[in-house]
Structure 1
């Protein structure tokens, strides 16, 4: 599902640096078949081909108009849509067709590991391929906890196989033949029938190495002789003997086809004649201007060749197990969370340091000042004349931590040996205003502004002070 990986997997592009033996897939750009323009079809996650078009579904959606099974023409125009029965699905992810070609299966199997409400059961919906009836739900459960899954295949005997979305090794789960029930409240327990480990590849994709490991879709050829799994990067095709899909996935050596044209691919199908792969993307998190194109690929006909990986410390990395092989989506989520917490702590420490630095009183006395204690002016200087006041009575109080408050630059200069002629020509402090603060030579009173235009305010919204400066900071 795009919401699981859209932000998190991009942060782990560094995983692609892991040095392992990898397969070199056949690289060929997909051929554009047609463009899907209907605005309701923006999160496509399942696809099958029919004799005169295609059938597709969205990923999870709260909008009733998108929570349907859509039928498309050969030019990708919507010809009809079928509603679900009851309250409808929770998180649809894939489509599959029965071996006899009569039944369409919809995999309502998504279960985001980041969600606070994990599913206690999953659903498989079935309906006639021609859409003559509404889908019927069949509830199932895992025997070993909760899993996120996005791929569905149908075994030769008609039994569904759910493939989990796990980094490195995907689990295969299936109910016993003949045990599925329609509209059941109590889910039928599945059995784990195997694991499938995909070969490592180097195909570029939006999510790096992790995107090359997670199964996001599956397809079965019309004649049942081949099945394929896909990731965000590649399609892995297996030969099937005697209709035993599980045996093919757990013991076969796949041919690898790079799906280099996909934007955010989660769907995979065979063409009606079984000669090509077809793909569409889930564009829910991408720019709305990105066109959703249905692509066609020619499957690779040769087994992948292993490439020699770089060595680490004199030992070939290809002889050791990659550390990403055992990662689950939950592990990745925890790693991302840890990075976020560390970043927040570093930012907090930086802000604290800045605030502490601003509060420190200067340790050096002003240039030219004599007879004053280090760190501040002579505490005996209690009042200073205010320039332009017109008489000696116009004075301002001075505390030990606010030297010359209420005075202008010239008074400060006269007290510190600058001769009353203003600050030296090479002084870095300009005489003009700074973002609306006190005017040159002024005292900060009257109509003078404070920092960033606030009248005589302290820095960052603190209490007002004389001259628009913080109360505890000298010039």
Structure 2
């Protein structure tokens, strides 16, 4: 390959790698396994929240809508029947002592509305229905700030998912409309694990806010991505998601779908056992919340996103796929350059 051609191709590839990478800083600790989820009723854990009685989890579609509180060894310490049946509960949050079950899953994208199930410490549940402005979406991530306005991140193929929020706290009186308020790109990752190999690194499967509301975690099957949040509103959460995140690798989980913070900033993760027949675990990354700075640097809105003011420019592309494609192009161009040089040498030898 000629030097000029190599520079012209390699520089854009390096630029993409730099732009796609997470914030550099102190490396997070490796996840520590606290205990294994051996109880078969916990085979499809999709949501996790921390309560005074211990970690609480919920299962997703096809299971009874029940909140399970775990003992220190991950056995089931207590169960609470919710009283209503969710269609596909995919996340769990806790705010002011109240549990919120996110009935937002929609693998086939057929639901006309989704729901949050509000479960107070005492008393029965309240179903709060929400609707998207642009058709059905599959989602597994709920972030619930102090102002009671939910932020939902969809689970979209292609490395870019929608961020939706309500203008007001939802009520049971009527279906509350969601608004598309941004997009969230999956950062580049090489963490191994999950049920889908490299594709699992590009799908958002759960979320949580830290106890003080200053850090938002959005996870994939293989990593948690931590964003700084400056206030207690949905607008603050959305603004934080525009910052460059801190990456916390969560390798080796069969099907990681749940994440939560303890009061001291430890990040907890859990998930399903997966189709491999393995055993899922409750794992912890101490001090994870402390890795995130308190002042987010707002990133440039993505072209075609609502906040950019630009018209959509085409289908989203996974950053990793772009890099792989660039490397393939680099290889092809290199082969062409070598072939040209060989032909020139052959011509000179004949002369």
Q: Same fold (TM over 0.5)?
A: yes
**SS of 2:256 mapped into structure 1:** coil
Question: Aligned-residue CA RMSD in angstroms?
Answer: 2.6
TM superposition outliers: structure 1 runs of 4+ over 4 Å? 24-28
Match of 1:324 in 2: 318
1:263 aligns with 2:260: no
- Is the 8 Å Cα contact of residues 151 and 165 (structure 2) preserved in structure 1? yes
**SS of 1:190 mapped into structure 2:** strand
Aligned equivalents of 2:227 and 2:292: distance in 1?
12
Aligned equivalents of 1:75 and 1:258: distance in 2?
24
- Is the 8 Å Cα contact of residues 33 and 296 (structure 1) preserved in structure 2? yes
Please, which of 225, 229, 236 is the counterpart of residue 240 of structure 1? 229
Post-superposition CA distance 1:89-118 (Å, at most 9, x none): 0000001122xx2221110000013x7xx1
Please, which of 268, 271, 281 is the counterpart of residue 271 of structure 2? 281
1:198 aligns with 2:186: yes
**SS of 2:151 mapped into structure 1:** strand
**SS of 2:198 mapped into structure 1:** helix
Aligned equivalents of 1:148 and 1:273: distance in 2?
32
After superposition, the Cα gap between the structure-2 partners of 1:260 and 1:245, relative to the gap in structure 1 and judged at 3 Å, is: same
Please, which of 84, 93, 97 is the counterpart of residue 94 of structure 2? 97
Please, which of 157, 161, 172 is the counterpart of residue 163 of structure 2? 172
Aligned equivalents of 2:126 and 2:197: distance in 1?
38
Match of 2:67 in 1: 69
Aligned equivalents of 1:326 and 1:234: distance in 2?
15
Aligned equivalents of 2:131 and 2:40: distance in 1?
34
Match of 2:153 in 1: 163
Please, which of 107, 121, 136 is the counterpart of residue 126 of structure 2? 136
Match of 1:223 in 2: 212
After superposition, the Cα gap between the structure-2 partners of 1:322 and 1:164, relative to the gap in structure 1 and judged at 3 Å, is: closer
Displacement of 1:220: 0.5
Match of 1:49 in 2: 50
**SS of 1:144 mapped into structure 2:** coil
Please, which of 126, 144, 147 is the counterpart of residue 154 of structure 1? 144
After superposition, the Cα gap between the structure-2 partners of 1:123 and 1:219, relative to the gap in structure 1 and judged at 3 Å, is: same
Post-superposition CA distance 1:124-145 (Å, at most 9, x none): 00012x4x33322111110001
- Is the 8 Å Cα contact of residues 45 and 281 (structure 1) preserved in structure 2? yes
Aligned equivalents of 1:53 and 1:267: distance in 2?
15
- Is the 8 Å Cα contact of residues 188 and 320 (structure 2) preserved in structure 1? no
Displacement of 1:272: 3.1
**SS of 1:280 mapped into structure 2:** strand
Higher helix share: 2
Displacement of 1:69: 1.2
- Is the 8 Å Cα contact of residues 52 and 74 (structure 1) preserved in structure 2? no
- Is the 8 Å Cα contact of residues 85 and 136 (structure 1) preserved in structure 2? no
State the aligned residue count.
275
1:26-37 aligned at under 5 Å gives the runs 26=27, 29-37=30-38
After superposition, the Cα gap between the structure-2 partners of 1:273 and 1:157, relative to the gap in structure 1 and judged at 3 Å, is: same
Aligned equivalents of 2:123 and 2:38: distance in 1?
26
Structure showing greater relative contact order (alpha-carbon pairs closer than 8 Å, 6 or more residues apart): 2
Match of 1:254 in 2: 245
Match of 2:114 in 1: 122
Aligned equivalents of 2:74 and 2:292: distance in 1?
31
**SS of 1:291 mapped into structure 2:** coil
Aligned equivalents of 2:316 and 2:132: distance in 1?
28
- Is the 8 Å Cα contact of residues 213 and 231 (structure 2) preserved in structure 1? no
Match of 1:335 in 2: none
Aligned equivalents of 1:154 and 1:302: distance in 2?
19
What 5-or-longer segments of structure 1 have no aligned partner?
A: 1-17, 304-320, 328-475
